[in-house]
């Protein structure tokens, strides 16, 4: 289960690293990928970063987290309990399971993942006692949540040139209303599904220019990878129309990851 951290309680260092993850997500968006990016940080230095590459390689397993992990493990063998992952969207069930298996210490994310979230939105992978073969890890959400949501909405407004049947999207309008996170008394998100709470208007700069990091260590790994469609029709992001965006399947916990090419980028 994740803990929602209100903006006034968020650490400036965590926010700075989340900016790095947003920078990777912006790069994914510029390459017609679902805009999810991540950065792995150890001892105040970025040791790997990645973005979604699922469309580029026709591979549903190329989420940002897994892309980074592949490059991390040779030089940083598990457990990775001294490492923090910053990712723009709550890890899906597959990624949340992988993070637990490598012994990650902490995960900080932007917006929740109501359809595939593995840190409490759908399944409590990160801290469930039923998965006692691997240590639990801390998960905290809400860091630049609005920016992460807007990035995803911008993606679903864009035209997919590789779609079998391109959809007309010229009339679609970017929604900037974002509902607050309903939480319990201890800041645990009770649900990321729509509630009766009226959405609040937020002034969000679109597009948001996120500066390239000056904090990146010269010895760190810059993967420039990507993450799969972790979010899609998440009510937190907001469906763009009545048609559901097709999602890539989720690998069940404990299954073997097979690099089976997809027939093509899905819209």
What pLDDT score was predicted for residue 197? Answer: 35
Give the tens place of pLDDT for each residue, 20-37.
999 999 999 999 899 999
C-alpha to C-alpha distance for 235 and 172, rounded to whole angstroms: 17
* Residue 73 pLDDT > 50: yes
**Catalytic position from the list 26, 33, 65, 90:** 65
Distance CA 177, CA 207 (A): 15
Could you tell me if residue 262 is inside a domain?
A: no
Structure tokens at 251: 């690998």
Top pLDDT among 181 and 104 is at 104
Based on the structure, what is the number of domains in the chain? 1
Is residue 69 pLDDT above 60, yes or no? yes
| Residue 143 lies inside a defined structural domain of this protein | yes
The whole domain housing 165 covers 3-222
Please indicate, yes or no, if residue 254 is contained in any of the structural domains. no
pTM of the model: 0.71
CATH code for position 116? 3.40.140.10
Per-residue pLDDT averaged across 68-95, rounded? 96
Give which of 226, 243, 56, 48 is closest to 151, Cα–Cα: 226
pLDDT of residue 181: 83
Assess if residue 264 is contained within a domain.
no
pLDDT band at 185 (very low <50, low <70, confident <90, very high): low
* 65 a catalytic residue: yes
Cα–Cα dist 79/21, whole Å: 22
239-259 pLDDT, tens digit each: 333 233 323 333 333 333 333
Between helix 64-72 and helix 93-101 the angle, nearest 10°, is: 20
Mean pLDDT of 114-137: 95
Angle between helix 145-157 and helix 12-30 axes, rounded to 10 deg? 10
Neighbouring residues of 185: CB distance < 8 A, sequence distance ≥ 6: none
- Give yes or no for a contact between 218 and 207, defined as CB atoms under 8 angstroms apart: no
Residue 186 included in any domain: yes
Q: Which residue has the tokens 């490059």?
A: 71
Instruction: With respect to residue 243, please indicate whether it lies within any of the assigned structural domains.
Output: no
pLDDT digits (tens, 9 = 90+) for 152-163: 999 988 766 667
Could you tell me if residue 256 is inside a domain? no
Quick one: the chain helix, strand, coil %, rounded to 5? 20, 15, 60
Specify if 253 maps to a domain: no
Sign of the torsion formed by the C-alpha atoms of 167, 171, 174 and 177: negative
């Amino acid at each position: 289960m994740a803990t929602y951290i209100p903006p006034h309680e968020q650490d400036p260092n965590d926010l700075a690293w989340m900016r790095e993850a947003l920078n990777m997500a912006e790069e994914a968006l510029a390459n017609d990928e679902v805009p999810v990016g991540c950065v792995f940080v150890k001892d105040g230095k970025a040791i790997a970063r990645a973005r979604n590459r699922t469309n580029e390689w026709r591979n549903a397993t190329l989420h940002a987290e897994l892309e980074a992990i592949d490059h991390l493990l040779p030089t940083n063998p598990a457990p990775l309990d001294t490492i923090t992952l910053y990712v723009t969207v709550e890890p899906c069930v597959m990624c949340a399971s992988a993070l637990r298996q490598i012994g990650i210490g902490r995960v900080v994310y932007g917006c929740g993942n109501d359809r595939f979230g593995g840190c409490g939105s759908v399944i409590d992978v990160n801290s469930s006692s039923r998965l006692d073969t691997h240590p639990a890890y801390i998960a905290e959400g809400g860091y630049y949540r609005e920016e992460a949501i807007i990035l995803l909405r911008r993606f679903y407004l864009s035209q997919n040139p590789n779609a079998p049947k391109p959809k007309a999207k010229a009339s679609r309008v970017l929604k900037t209303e974002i509902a607050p996170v309903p939480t319990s008394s201890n800041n645990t998100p009770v649900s990321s599904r729509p509630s009766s709470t009226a959405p609040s208007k937020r002034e969000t700069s679109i597009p948001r220019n996120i500066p390239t990091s000056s904090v990146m260590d010269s010895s760190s790994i810059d993967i420039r990878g990507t993450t799969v469609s972790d979010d899609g029709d998440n009510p937190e992001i907001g469906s763009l129309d009545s048609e559901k965006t097709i999602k890539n399947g989720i690998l069940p916990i404990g299954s073997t990851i097979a690099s089976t090419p997809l027939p093509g980028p899905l819209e």
